Structure formats: structure tokens, C-alpha cells
Chains A and B, each alone.
Chain A
């Protein structure tokens, strides 16, 4: 393999394609991330329906594929074939553009998400600023969609959502600033770059959620609440409260356009979760890198990706075994068995890489192993947040709009301001 490609597989001296000025590799990264996010959104769609159903003691989708595994594909086909209705009185052009604005804003953010020290499209000097700025453009899509529908419920939904997002952005920004302050503790100069923020946690040997306990934790909790409001998810889904507003801002949307809104919403959820992971939860770092730092521990932790896939394969095999032995389920059983075999194959592949690359030298296998570890831990942490989103939705009732505003302005904002000030004081005293 040419050196050029090697440098991207590597970790030690590798840089992001953006920093190397290589448009070709940047495009490949963008393509991989786009595919990965789209697949993640489909998986999330299935998981959400399944998990919500189980929370409510239902089965959820069971018909399309084994345990409804093919449901997202069926949904996608249905949405694409559905008639695409534009209301006669709607503003045609704006109605058409609105879902695209949300989608663009949600996906543009992925350029700076640090899946690893060099596993990002680009490492911008203003990384976190870019993420906050571009993700705040997502509200434009919602506002404009609500207005262009020329209908009452969408308009009210859009007004609610814009008020909500603008209010919670303030608390969110202040929480982020207190994390950025922490990046400057040891070196004296802070950084806004996403990769730099994770590296600062690496250098200070602490995740920022535990830094200046409980300051980091409070800032993190504020961000975690604000990000749910920012993505219009339950219990803050006032913009699409079905009991009051039918479906809120996307009432008039159908088919493909509606699915674009859903895609944007889930992509934005993944994006804000990655901000939380990168800023407070150590980004791509594995758990306990200080306490358990022996090479043996490195090896044990590098087995986790393989173990995860083995676990998934085992669950699938249990599903195959427990399938009713009726000829009606034959195809489903074979399909699930093939899926289990695929998961097992991936697990074996990951195991081989982990074993072959266990030495800390710079062989191809070792570099591969490190890269997989970084991406695995980052994605795992984000996945926890995605599950939390579902959990919130199943557990908490929706807030009233005035309660929402009260919490945003009278609770979250003062607390986040206080945390910011105290963090600055403590930081100045410590250094």
C-alpha cells in the first residue's frame, strides 16, 4: 500500500484529510460518515419502536422480517412511494426547500465530529463553534416549514419550536463554554477544536464530566437537558405535540419530504450526542485509561468491539432457536440465521484484528486495531445517549410550554451562568 493511504490508517502521526488538504480522502470520509449515519438512523428507528413498545408492554413491529428487523426498509419504501402532497395554498418553493435546510444543517455538522484523533473529515480551529452554529441553523428548516405550510397547527408548532430552540441554545452555549474553559487548565491556551478538546482531556488525564467535581457534572447535565430541547424530542417535543397540534410543523408534509424531516431529526440527535461525548465523556478514549494502563488492559479493552458483535450474534442465534417451528416461519428463521452469521463474521474479523494488532508497534494491524478502538468507544458512548433519548420519551410526560420556558430561562440559564463563573474562579485559583 502506498505511504499516502497508510498515513490515514495510522494514528501516531496521522492527520485528518482536511488538514492534509486531500479532497479525495475527505470525500471518502464524508461518504463513509453519511452511509454510517443513514444506517444508524434506520437502526435507531427500529430500536425506538421496539424499545418504546417494550416499555409499554407491547411487542412492537413483528411482521416484517424476524422481530421486525426489516421494518425500517419497509417504512422507507412506503414513504418513497407515497403521494407527495403540496397544499394548494402553500408557498411552493419554501415548502420544497424547508426539509433540505434541516437535513443540510444536521449533516454538515458531521465534518468536525472527532471519531478518533485522525478519524474526522477535518479538524477545524473553531470546531465546537462550527457545530453549535450550523446545528442552530436546523431551526430555520422547522420555522420555514411551519410557515410555508400555510396552516395553523404547523405555524404554531414552528413558533413554539423557534422560541424553544433559541432559549435553550443560551444555556447550552454557556455549558459548552465552561467545558472549553477547562481545556485551558494545564497548557494555558484553550482550544475550540473538537479533536483538541478531547486531547486536552487526554493530557489532563480526566474526563471533563469529573473535572472540578461537581462543576463539570452540572455543566454536562445542563447540556444533556438542553440538547433534548434543542432536538425537539420528548419531553420537550412541544413543536410536534400530537395531542395539541396534530403533528406540529410537519403536519402538511407527507412521503419523502416528511422522511427527510425524520432523517434530519435523528441525525441532529446523533450530532448533539457526539458534542456531549467529545466535550465531557472523553470522546474516543476508552474507560479508565489512567487506572488500568498496562498493555494487558489495552489488549482486554481492544477485545470489546469483537465481544459486542459476538453478543449481538448470540442474541440473534437465541432468536433463531426460539422461533416457532412452523413452516410459516421458515424464511424468517433462515434470514435471522444469516444475519447472526454475518454478525459473527464481523466479530471474528474484529477479534483477528485485535489479536494481530495487540503489540503497540506501528504495523498495519496495530494501526487498524487502534482506529477501530477509537471509533468503537466513541460510537458506544453516542449509542448510550441515543438509548437515553428513547428512554426519556417512554418515561416522561410532555411539559407545558410555559413550564418549558420557565425552566429554560429561570433555572437552566442562571445555573449555567453560575457554573461558568465558578469554573473560571476555580480554574484561576488552581493554575
Chain B
């Protein structure tokens, strides 16, 4: 952790700057995310589900903002809410909603889904119960003003040395490139 940032935050707190991110915002955003998530799995109409998923994603972006991670929030909005969900809708719109909403569920995977959901819930409950030991007892001292620069430093390195995550980042980009090539080759017969 950068000590300079730590002292920055401390001085800001001592100066009496009240954080705008109050618990009220957290409850509203978390509620929106949960309600949106429930709607995603309960709506029979796939377009309604997709719209509810967008609400959830935007609420989660708001939660990232509250965690002093504006860059992640911005990327969440661009990539998920703006990009992926538009493509989702694009595909869903071509499906015959009338028929598919009356169809019986033919997929027998619900026990697996239930198990996965239970495992995730168990993880969350453990984290909540043991939270004191797992996490620091006070807020991470990340100044929101330099969040983007810090991420850049970690990914690309700063002051002439390689970043902590440069290798992983480049590998991930290679993976995405392979996926793009795969998509092009699969859809295009003649290149």
C-alpha cells in the first residue's frame, strides 16, 4: 500500500470531509442489484430478463464507485451494460418470444445451478461471519482521484520497471485475441 496515499486519506478524513457515499446509497444500490437479479431469473420474457440484468449491472457499477474504484465502474458500464448487453438484446430480439415463453423448461441442469448458488451463498456467509479476520478493519486507503493511474501502474509498470500484473494482463489480451480470431473463422466460410 502506498503510504503517501494513506496519509492523504487520513488528512482528508481529519479535515472533516464527509464522504458522499453514505450507507443510504449502498442500500439503494444493493437493493436494486438484488431485485434486478431476481427479475432476471423469474421473468419468462427473455428481453425483460435482459433489461433487469442491465439494471443489476448498473447498480453494481454504482457499488464499485462507492468502493472508490471509478475506473472499474466506468469499464463495467462500457463493457457490460453498453457492449455485451446490447449484443445480448440483439440476439434475444431475433428469438420468437411468444413461443419460447410458453415452452416448458427442457434443460435439466437446475440441480447444478442450485448447488453452485448454494456454494456461492456459503462463501458469502463465511466471508460475512469471518469478515473481521479476513479483511482489514478499516477502509482501504485508495484515493479515488488516482485510481486510474494506480491501475495503469499495476498493469503497465511505472518508472521503468515492469508492473506487477503486466504478464497476466498480456496473457489475457492474447486469450481475447484468440477468441476474436475464433469467432471470425467460425462465422466466415471464406477468408
Q: For the complex, give the distance between the alpha carbons of A423 and B86 in Å.
A: 31
Chain B residue contacts of A189, Cβ below 8 A: 149
Question: Which of A126, A132, A159 makes the CB contact (< 8 A) with B90?
Answer: A159
Distance of B110 from chain A, by nearest CB (Å) = 27
Any A CB within 8 A of the CB of B100: no
Q: Which of A47-55, A134-142, A294-302 interfaces with chain B? A: A134-142
Kindly provide the distance from the CB of A95 to the nearest chain B CB, expressed in whole angstroms. Answer: 11
Cα of A91 to Cα of B45 in the assembled complex, Å: 10
Q: What are the residues of chain B within 8 A of A192 when measuring CB–CB?
A: 71, 148
Q: What per-residue 1/0 map shows which CB atoms of A116-145 lie under 8 Å from chain B?
A: 000000001110011011101101100110
Cβ–Cβ < 8 Å partners of B83 in chain A:
136, 166, 169
Tier of interface size on chain B: 20 to 34
Does A62 count as interface, using CB distance less than 8 angstroms? no
Within 8 A of A (CB), among B111-170: 144-149
Which residues of the other chain, B, contact A130 by a CB distance below 8 angstroms? 70, 74, 77
What is the minimal beta-carbon distance from B45 to any residue of chain A, in angstroms? 8
B92's nearest neighbour on chain A, judged by CB, is: A147
Main secondary structure of the interface of A (DSSP, over half): helix
A-B contact count (CB 8 A): 84
Chain A residues whose CB sits within 8 angstroms of the CB of B60 once the complex forms? none
Interface flag for A94 (CB, 8 Å):
yes
What CA separation (Å) do A162 and B47 show in the bound complex? Answer: 15
Q: Are B78 and A129 in contact (CB under 8 A)?
A: yes
B-contact 0/1 string along A151-195, CB 8 Å cutoff: 000010011001101100100000000000000000001011000
The dominant DSSP class at the B interface is helix
Q: Are A143 and B90 in contact (CB under 8 A)?
A: yes
Is B75's CB within 8 Å of the partner chain A? yes
Nearest to A155 among chain B residues (CB) is B93
Chain A interface category by residue count: 20 to 34
Q: Is A21 in contact with chain B by the CB < 8 A criterion? A: yes
CB distance from A346 to the nearest CB of B (A): 36
Query: Using Cβ atoms and an 8 Å threshold, which residues of chain A touch B1?
Result: none
Interface string of B67-93 (1 = CB under 8 A from A): 000110111011001110111011001
> Top 5 A-B pairs ranked by shortest CB distance?
A136-B82, A133-B77, A129-B74, A133-B78, A126-B74
Interface set of A (CB-CB < 8 Å, partner B) = 21, 91, 93-94, 97, 124-126, 129-130, 132-134, 136-137, 139-140, 143-144, 146-147, 155, 158-159, 162-163, 165-166, 169, 189, 191-192
**Would you mind naming 17 contact pairs between A and B with Cβ atoms under 8 Å apart?**
A94-B47, A94-B48, A97-B51, A125-B144, A129-B74, A130-B77, A133-B74, A134-B77, A136-B83, A136-B86, A137-B82, A140-B86, A143-B89, A143-B93, A159-B93, A162-B86, A162-B90
